[in-house]
Structure 1
Amino acid sequence: MWLSLRGDNGALEAGAFLERGARGVTSAANVHSGDWDAVARDDNARTELWEALGELDENCIRLLGIPEQGGAADAAEAALQKAGYRIVRENRPPSPSLQLPATWEGLIHTVSRNLRSNWGRRQRGLERAGTVAFRTVTRPGEMAVALDAFLELEASGWKGKAGTAILSDLRTQRLYRDFAQVAAARGWLRLHLLELDGQLIAGDYAVSFEGTEFLLKTAFSEPHEQLSPGLVLRGRVLQAAIKEGLDYYDFLGGPERYKLSWASQLRPRVRISAYRGAALPRYAYRSRLHPVLRSSIGPIARLARDRVRRLRAGSRR
């Protein structure tokens, strides 16, 4: 579902992709797209689009992963409240990013002393283990073989065992393969590959667009975990981004530890759920009962997550 706003001359002023289902309208976002927002010519056009959304004949509207900065979330909430909706606004995990300096030295000397020392030590250790090669695939003609190698690497570890690797689902595989073709054709694709003695041991599936590199997927060889190939790769990738002249590096996703060690800022995100009419009982649950249940079950859930992490860590050794 495409909601659009056009000016008197027919030009597009604002638009948003949404999904309409039996339980209402939801932003077209899922686990593969942590951020979601409308596109708009300016703030006034964006506000008009949110007002148009509120005029739809829907009892429930859910907007997932809206960046809190810039006023988009506030404008959406205000427009939906004006349309008679009851609002539940929830914080979502923030997304890390990094403003890139002009030189690698300018970056490596701003991170923690521990990270700086660790990266240098792991880089030297990898070079002692064999012949190290780092390359970035961007062209359509080179993409297919490199992408196959990356996807096989990702599926070789715990993601493959858990069924969450890209190759574990045909629809997910088609999504990432098709997007890679489009991105390569438009000059956006960045497949970063780190090899040891000709074997792929770490890789990134990323895109570069409008001065920012976006990390979509990353993987490393678990049998080589003692060499920290993921850490070495991250430094090499950031070096390449700086050399390319990019301004930002966006890790996307949530605030995982390996991202936070490099990131210079966090992008807050929120989920806005709007209810009216027949959906008001769901509002009562989300605004009153759900927070109570979450605070009660939270400690149990954390114990379960810790248990899963320990099992995963054990499988990587």
Structure 2
Amino acid sequence: MDMASHPLPPYSHPAGVPQRARWEDLAVQAAEANAFYAPDMLAAAIDHLAADGDVRLIEAREGDRLIGLLPVTVRSRHGRLPIGCVGNWVHDHCFFGAPMIRQGHEAAAWRSFLAQLDEAPWARGFLHLEAIDAAGANAAAIEAVCVEQRRGWREIHRYDRAMLRSDLTADAYWESQVRAKKRKELRRLQKRLADLGVVESRLLTDRSDVARWCGEFLALEASGWKGREGTAMGCKPADAAFFRAACAAGFDAGRLHMLRLDLDGRAIAMLVNFRHGAGAFSFKIAIDEEYGRFSPGVLIEIANLHAVQDDSAIGWMDSCAAPDHPMIDSLWAERRTIVQYRIALHGQGMTQFQRAAAFAIANGVESAARLLKGQG
């Protein structure tokens, strides 16, 4: 099995094209969907969000065939601990961190990832993986390979977040999952909003509209609390450039799923999703707070429910929301368990000593903190 760790690929150079083609082939055959590591979003993130040398791409191969892709970064700290480690690259706009692995090659890909990190002089401490599906193909392969290699590993955090996975029609799902009182209140809000003008929900279908819709989304997001707090994508040129590039490339790849709710032709809510495989990931939502009394965020989620349930190519959607989200948790009944892992790295001589010590210290501090919390 060939093993190769690469610095950032030169996407602006023709040499980057074959690599993108190999990534696309891998994405089509992926054992676990992850739109954030699909070529369109990953390339946009690397081009606009990664500092020089900040991200390394670990590729697992069998001969000339790519069977795995794991983007990683070297971190100087692990949470509050001043311990260096390697982590999967989960930037500010990435909400799922499962590596891309070819179906049927899950264990082989993880053996390669870990062997390369074991041998890499730049790999510090241990491997910290975040935003992993506890029931996914990567989690199963990690456990199997770590047991096989007698390699230390530990689940260090988990939480549930909302997802939509149902064979019901949108109307049937809405009736069965949302309380009658809330449905009645939302119908009242829809009627009151319609009294102000023409209300229309639209799905992006024309390539020529992508740039304009992106600009309107960035403006809408920046007009609210995210803009005031400086966290809207439009507040940082690099974030805005990433968003525009990801949406354009995602549309061309058939992965962008973008909705808007208009009042007299003006967007009062917009929602961006990215598809991969049989599923999709909810990426960003923006609303016009001037119309906050009409709950435009909930109203566009109703439109999104119909768009998803009416599309036979979308089997499920991950909300990518924080745990206990007050809005989406009340609308979507299903849950996805997201976990973090700490995995020991092997080595030789002082490298092995340093890595073993880092893994043991992190585990010890965490165990002590849990014990104190339990006593409290």
| TM-score (normalised: structure 2) | 0.70
Matches within 5 A, 1:179-258: 179-245=246-312, 246-255=314-323, 256-258=325-327
Whether 1:111 aligns to 2:177 is yes
CA gap of 1:39–1:179, structure 2 versus 1, over 3 A, is same
Secondary structure at 2:130's aligned position in 1?
strand
Equivalent position to 1:47, from 87, 97, 107: 107
Give the Cα–Cα distance (whole angstroms) in 2 for the partners of residues 54 and 69 of structure 1: 21
1:10-25 matched pairs, under 5 angstroms: 10-20=64-74, 23-25=84-86
Q: Distance in 1 between matches of 2:163 and 2:129?
A: 22
Code of the aligned partner of 1:96: A
Find the aligned partners of 1:143 and 1:107 in 2 and give their Cα distance. 30
Moved more, 68-77 or 81-90: 81-90
Matching residue within 359, 362, 375 for 1:283: 359
How far has the Cα of 1:108 moved from its partner?
1.7
Deviation at 1:208, TM superposition (A): 3.5
Following TM superposition, by how much is the alpha carbon of 1:67 offset from its aligned partner in structure 2, in angstroms? 0.9
| Paired letter, 2:212 | V
Residue 64 of structure 2 is aligned to residue 4 of structure 1: no
Which of 86, 91, 100 is the matching residue for 1:30?
Answer: 91
- Once the two structures are TM-superposed, the CA of residue 193 in structure 1 deviates from its matched residue by 1.2
Does 259-268 or 19-28 show the bigger shift?
Answer: 19-28
- Residues 266-286 of structure 1 show CA distances to partners (whole Å, capped at 9, x for unaligned) of 111211123453144443443
With over 3 angstroms needed to count, the CA separation of the structure-2 counterparts of 1:272 and 1:211, relative to structure 1, is closer
Query: Which letter maps to 2:59?
Result: S
Greater RCO (Cα-Cα under 8 Å, separation 6 or more) = 1
Cα distance in structure 2, aligned partners of 1:184 and 1:52: 32
Q: Report the CA distance shift for 1:124/1:213 in structure 2 as closer, same or farther (over 3 A).
A: farther
Aligned-residue Cα RMSD (Å) equals 2.7
Matched, 1:270 2:339: yes
SS at 2:211's partner residue? helix
Alignment of 1:86-105 (within 5 A): 86-101=152-167, 103-105=169-171
2:112 and 2:65 mapped to 1: Cα distance?
17
Work out which of the residue numbers 146, 149, 156 in structure 1 matches 2:213. Answer: 146
Q: Secondary structure at the match of 2:135?
A: coil
Q: C-alpha separation between the residues in 1 aligned to 2:219 and 2:110?
A: 42
> Is the CA contact (8 Å cut-off) linking 2:75 and 2:86 kept in structure 1?
yes
Other structure's SS at 1:278 match: helix
Letter of the 1:5 partner, please give it.
Answer: A
Task: Call closer, same or farther: CA 1:62–1:27 in 2, change over 3 Å.
Answer: same
| Structure 1 stretches lacking a partner, 5+ long | 299-317
> What do the CA deviations read for 1:2-54 (whole angstroms, capped 9, x no partner)?
3333335x3233332323466343212233222222333345x2212222233
Residue pair 1:180, 1:189 contacting (<8 A) in 2 also = yes
Contact kept, 8 Å, 1:115 with 1:261, in 2: the verdict is no
The letter of the residue matching 1:286 is A
| Contact 1:65–1:92 (Cα < 8 Å) also in 2 | no
Cα offsets for 1:222-274 (capped at 9, x unmatched): 12111111111110121122233333232123231211112232111211123
Maintained 8 Å contact 2:61/2:109: no
Cα separation, 1, equivalents of 2:107 and 2:309: 36
Indicate if the aligned counterparts of 1:207 and 1:214 stay in contact, CA closer than 8 A: yes
**Residues paired across the two proteins, number:** 296
Secondary structure (helix, strand or coil) at the match of 2:268 reads strand
Structure 1 CA distance, aligned partners of 2:62 and 2:266? 55
* 1:108 alignment partner AA: W
For 2:91, what is the secondary structure of its paired residue?
coil
Q: Deviations over 1:182-234 (max 9, x none)?
A: 01222322221112233321111223443434210001111211111111111
Aligned to 1:260: 329
Q: Which amino acid aligns with 1:53?
A: F
Q: String of CA shifts for 1:153-178, please: whole Å, max 9, x gaps.
A: 10111111111111112221121110
CA offset digits 1:105-140 (Å, max 9, x no partner): 222221132332233222222112322121122322
Deviates most, 170-179 or 117-126: 117-126
1:61 matches 2:127: yes
Q: Hey, what's the Cα distance between the residues in 1 that align with 2:263 and 2:73? A: 44
Distance in 1 of aligned mates of 2:128 and 2:94: 15
Indicate the larger mover: 166-175 or 285-294: 285-294
